[in-house]
Amino acid sequence: MHIIDSHFHWWPRSVLNKMCERTGFPFSKPNDRGGYTSTLRDDIDCVLNGGAEWYDLDAQFQYMDTLGHQVDAVGSIGPFSVFFSALPKEEGRDLAILWNEEMSAAQRKHPGRFFASAAIPFQDEKIAMDVLEDAVGRLNLIGVNLPGSIGADPRIDAERLQPFYARCAELNLPVFIHPTDAMFNNMLNGYGGALHASLGRVVEVSVAAMRLVLSGTLERHPDLKIVMSHTGGALPYQSGRMDKNTKGAKLPKPASHYLRNMFTDTVSPHAAGIRFAIDYYGIDNVMYGTDYPCWEPAECLALLSEIDLTDEQRQKLFYDNAVRILNLPVRRQPVAVAAE
Taking 50 as the threshold, does the pLDDT of residue 334 lie above it? no
pLDDT score recorded for residue 165: 98
Which pLDDT tens digit goes with each residue over 213-267? 999 999 999 999 999 999 999 999 999 999 999 999 999 999 999 999 999 999 9
pLDDT score recorded for residue 186: 67
Q: Considering the chain, what is the average pLDDT of its residues?
A: 93
Which pLDDT tens digit goes with each residue over 174-192? 999 998 866 666 677 778 7
Cβ-Cβ contacts under 8 Å for 250 (sequence gap 6 or more): none
pLDDT score recorded for residue 91: 98
Please give the share of the chain, as a percent, with pLDDT higher than 90: 82
Which pLDDT tens digit goes with each residue over 78-92? 999 999 999 999 999
Question: pLDDT band at 338, cuts 50/70/90?
Answer: very low
Report angle CA 268, 143, 69 to the nearest 5 degrees: 50
Largest CA distance in the chain: 54
Beta strands in the chain (DSSP E): 2-8, 27-30, 36-39, 47-50, 70-75, 114-118, 143-147, 174-178, 225-228, 263-265, 286-287
Which pLDDT tens digit goes with each residue over 308-327? 999 999 999 999 999 999 99
Domains and CATH numbers, the chain: 2-325 (3.20.20.140)
